[in-house]
């Protein structure tokens, strides 16, 4: 399935049915009085978060959503039928905003969370509501109200605890395959990841977190180069970033330190808040280094980069260091939760 994370739709709620002016007409019952019923309410349109959906592809091709109008009132105290509401199922993490004003209408963060997008019009009143001691034969009634209409923008930002970032072929997909049940494509050429992948990392029976992998970043990603810039927004909701670095690139002319600095600069250009998020350095593919030079190469890289935060040395392919990494992540997330609670 193609990953679609943006769409534009039009929603039109149903018009309320009209009330009616009617009078009781039966044999032997003179002046029976008013008996015009109310119109039914028009259908409303709601969005509902569904954890079983992970893309907005349905709304890329079905852009117009209209609810039915309410039924008109009739005589003999018959009320018009209210129209059924429409439920639009969307992925968790969808932000719904007004296309014209940019105002955010809803942010779907939890499964089954429901948000009103367009309210149906109220039904009109029949003449039974206008009867009084001074007006025994009212002929007044009201028309149904129109339903709301909006042009909306849908934007999906995946919800994950940990986000992976790095150059193409840094080993992000291999890492998420190694520590979770996600199975993204892995190959020995760049840009094998074409859309975000989510994986549930289970530390033990009752402890887990969600990891997100996005396409690799390259220089000038924030300005539109490559694929990663399209998906940087998916890292804005993460609580921790893992900067994956390839210590043994296939191209001998590649400078891992320069590449790492490039990633950090692209983050800063794209979003200062994203740049300020907690970020750990993960040095990958140490299995490709000679055993006697592994520690020396890693320390030299950290020193050249001027990295002062947490760093980890792993091989996503062999699994070396991955267990220690996910336990450290789990501990960090739990400590963060405790701070929020206190």
User: 210 and 295 share a domain?
Assistant: yes
- Residue 174: its pLDDT value, please? 87
Kindly report which listed range (129-133, 146-150, 160-164, 196-200) carries the lowest average pLDDT score: 196-200
Rounded Cα–Cα distance for residues 280 and 272 (Å)? 17
Q: Which of 133, 156, 179 is a domain's end point?
A: 156
Q: Judge whether residue 1 has pLDDT over 80.
A: no
Residue 132: pLDDT band (50, 70, 90) is confident
CB atoms closer than 10 angstroms to residue 192: 17
Rounded Cα–Cα distance for residues 106 and 49 (Å)? 11
Q: Taking residues 47-68, report their average pLDDT.
A: 89
Tokens of 274: 């994203």
pLDDT digits (tens, 9 = 90+) for 224-251: 444 445 667 777 888 899 999 988 877 7
Q: Is 24 left (phi over 0), alpha (psi -120 to 50) or beta?
A: beta
Kindly report which listed range (61-75, 122-136, 192-206) carries the lowest average pLDDT score: 192-206
Strand 86-90 relative to strand 45-49, pairing? parallel
User: 127 and 218 share a domain?
Assistant: no
Compute the Cα dihedral for 305, 310, 311, 316 and give only its sign: negative
Domain hosting residue 250, numbered range = 162-341
User: 102 and 34 share a domain?
Assistant: yes
Asked if 193 contacts 244 with a C-beta cutoff of 8 angstroms, the reply is no
Asked if 80 contacts 45 with a C-beta cutoff of 8 angstroms, the reply is no
- Residue 86: its pLDDT value, please? 96
Q: What SS3 state is found at 190? A: coil
Asked if 20 contacts 125 with a C-beta cutoff of 8 angstroms, the reply is no
Residue 177 is part of a domain; what is its CATH number?
Answer: 3.40.50.300
The four Cα atoms 329, 334, 335, 341 give a dihedral, to 10 degrees, of 150
Cβ contacts of residue 28 below 8 Å, gap of 6+? none
User: 131 and 264 share a domain?
Assistant: no
Rounded Cα–Cα distance for residues 128 and 136 (Å)? 10
- Residue 228: its pLDDT value, please? 45
Residue matched to tokens 């939760």: 337
User: 272 and 288 share a domain?
Assistant: yes
**Residues across the chain:** 342
- Residue 96: its pLDDT value, please? 95
Asked if 216 contacts 163 with a C-beta cutoff of 8 angstroms, the reply is no
User: 58 and 178 share a domain?
Assistant: no
Residue 119 is part of a domain; what is its CATH number?
Answer: 2.70.210.12
Task: Give the residue, 32 or 321, on which the prediction is more confident.
Answer: 321
Rounded Cα–Cα distance for residues 196 and 319 (Å)? 22
- Residue 227: its pLDDT value, please? 47
User: 22 and 147 share a domain?
Assistant: yes
Average pLDDT, the chain: 84
Rounded Cα–Cα distance for residues 250 and 148 (Å)? 58
Q: Which of 113, 130, 156 is a domain's end point?
A: 156
The total of structural domains in the chain comes to 2
User: 115 and 167 share a domain?
Assistant: no
User: 324 and 183 share a domain?
Assistant: yes
- Residue 327: its pLDDT value, please? 93
User: 28 and 168 share a domain?
Assistant: no
User: 114 and 251 share a domain?
Assistant: no
- Residue 189: its pLDDT value, please? 39
pLDDT digits (tens, 9 = 90+) for 71-126: 999 988 899 999 999 999 998 889 999 999 999 999 998 899 999 999 999 999 99
pLDDT digits (tens, 9 = 90+) for 297-320: 899 999 998 888 889 999 988 889
Q: Give strand pairing partners of 37.
A: none
User: 331 and 300 share a domain?
Assistant: yes
Report angle CA 309, 209, 197 to the nearest 5 degrees: 95
Share of the chain above pLDDT 90, in %: 37
CB atoms closer than 10 angstroms to residue 340: 7
Q: Judge whether residue 182 has pLDDT over 80.
A: no
Q: Which of 106, 139, 156 is a domain's end point?
A: 156
């Amino acid at each position: 399935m193609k990953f679609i994370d943006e769409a534009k739709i039009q929603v039109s709620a149903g018009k309320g049915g009209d009330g009616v002016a009617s009078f009781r007409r039966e044999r032997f019952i003179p002046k029976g009085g008013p008996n015009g019923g109310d119109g039914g309410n028009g259908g409303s349109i709601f969005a509902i978060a569904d954890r079983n959906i992970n893309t907005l592809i349905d709304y890329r091709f079905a852009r117009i959503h209209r609810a039915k109008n309410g039924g008109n009132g009739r005589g003999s105290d018959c009320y018009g039928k209210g129209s059924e509401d429409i439920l639009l199922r969307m992925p968790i993490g969808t932000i719904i905003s007004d296309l014209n004003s940019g105002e955010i209408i809803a942010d779907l963060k939890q499964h089954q969370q429901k948000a009103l997008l367009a309210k149906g019009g109220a039904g009109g009143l029949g003449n039974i509501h206008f009867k009084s001691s001074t007006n025994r034969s009212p002929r007044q009634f009201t028309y149904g109200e129109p339903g709301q209409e909006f042009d909306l923008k849908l934007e999906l930002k995946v919800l994950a605890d940990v986000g992976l970032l790095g150059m193409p072929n840094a080993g992000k997909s291999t890492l998420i395959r190694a520590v979770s049940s996600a199975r993204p494509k892995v190959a020995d050429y760049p840009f094998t990841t074409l859309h975000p992948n989510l994986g549930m990392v289970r530390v033990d029976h009752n402890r887990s977190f969600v990891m997100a992998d996005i396409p690799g970043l390259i220089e000038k990603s924030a300005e539109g180069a490559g694929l990663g810039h399209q998906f940087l927004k998916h890292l804005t909701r993460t609580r921790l970033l893992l900067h994956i670095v390839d210590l043994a690139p296939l191209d001998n002319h590649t400078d891992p330190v320069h590449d790492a600095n490039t990633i950090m600069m692209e983050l800063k250009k794209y979003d200062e808040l994203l740049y300020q998020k907690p970020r750990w350095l993960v040095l990958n593919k140490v299995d490709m280094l000679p055993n006697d030079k592994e520690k020396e190469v890693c320390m030299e890289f950290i020193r050249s980069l001027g990295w002062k935060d947490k760093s980890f040395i792993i091989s996503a392919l062999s699994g070396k260091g991955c267990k220690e990494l996910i336990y450290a992540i789990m501990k960090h997330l739990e400590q963060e939760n405790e701070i929020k609670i206190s």
